[in-house]
Chains A and B, each alone.
Chain A
Amino acid sequence: SEIDVEATGADQAVGFGLVGFSLSLFTYYTIWVIVLPFVDSDHVIHSYFLPREYSVILPGVAALILLLFVGTFIGVVTWKNRKPKKVD
């Protein structure tokens, strides 16, 4: 049916978008952590990357934000499903 074909298109877009995003993130992060220490400090490539400390701080912050979202989601869903007398 018409709806099935559209859903597949959106699924494919989201799916391949995730794949592309993961590959880009992996490439950038690998160059940052693994490649850069072996490159001369006056090479131009260093200007595309933040100082090395941020390679640990940024994922840490991202993990905290993710935990915040997950916790908030669980809290909201639990709150919506609360029943007056007892919680099933």
Chain B
Amino acid sequence: MWIILDPKCRGFFNYNFALYLCTVFSTMTKLLEWLLGASLIGMAWGLVTFDLLDLQLPPQYRELAWPMPVYLLVVFGCYSLATVGYRVATFNDCEDAAKELQAQIKEAKEDLKKKGLKM
């Protein structure tokens, strides 16, 4: 395994690794893009919350960082709820279409009763 640290071999492995990365990036699907983005953000959050690099950030920023995943979920939930509520409130009734539909249902029921279907 430590052969890659040998100066004579490192160039070979670097080149092939770079080629591999190019292939991955050029054939990256949307799923991979999202996973990559999410992982990067997740790592940044982990670094700040658990102070893995000993950055010694001010305490307020650390206090702000650690609830972030839950905060983003709650905000997303609130946005979803508000969108659903707003669309329910502004959904316009089509009274003529409703009457027409009721008439058609009645007509269909009578037709089926005539043909012997028990309701």
Which residues from chain A sit less than 8 Å from chain B, CB to CB?
A: 1, 4, 7-8, 11-12, 14-19, 21-23, 25-26, 29-30, 33-34, 37-38, 52, 55-56, 59-60
Q: How far is the CB of A23 from chain B (nearest CB, A)?
A: 7
Contact B82 A23 (CB under 8 A): yes
Q: How far is the CB of A31 from chain B (nearest CB, A)?
A: 12
Which residues from chain B sit less than 8 Å from chain A, CB to CB?
A: 60-61, 63-64, 66-67, 70-71, 73-75, 78-79, 81-82, 84-91, 93, 95, 98-99
A41 to B13 CA separation, bound complex (whole angstroms): 54
Q: How far is the CB of A78 from chain B (nearest CB, A)?
A: 25
Contact A22 B78 (CB under 8 A): yes
Given contact pairs A4-B95, A56-B67, A29 touches B88 in the complex (Cβ within 8 A): no
Task: Supply 22 A–B pairs (Cβ within 8 Å), ascending by A.
Answer: A1-B99, A8-B93, A14-B88, A14-B89, A15-B85, A15-B88, A15-B89, A16-B89, A18-B84, A19-B86, A21-B85, A22-B78, A26-B79, A29-B74, A29-B78, A33-B64, A34-B64, A52-B67, A55-B67, A55-B70, A56-B70, A60-B70
Q: How far is the CB of B48 from chain A (nearest CB, A)?
A: 13
Given contact pairs A11-B91, A15-B90, A22-B82, A59 touches B64 in the complex (Cβ within 8 A): no
Contact A18 B85 (CB under 8 A): yes
Q: How far is the CB of A60 from chain B (nearest CB, A)?
A: 7
Contact A25 B89 (CB under 8 A): no
Q: From A57, which residue of chain B is reached at the shortest CB distance?
A: B70
A1 to B100 CA separation, bound complex (whole angstroms): 12
New contact pairs (8) apart from A15-B85, A16-B89, CB-CB < 8 Å: A7-B93, A11-B88, A12-B89, A22-B82, A25-B78, A26-B75, A34-B64, A56-B66
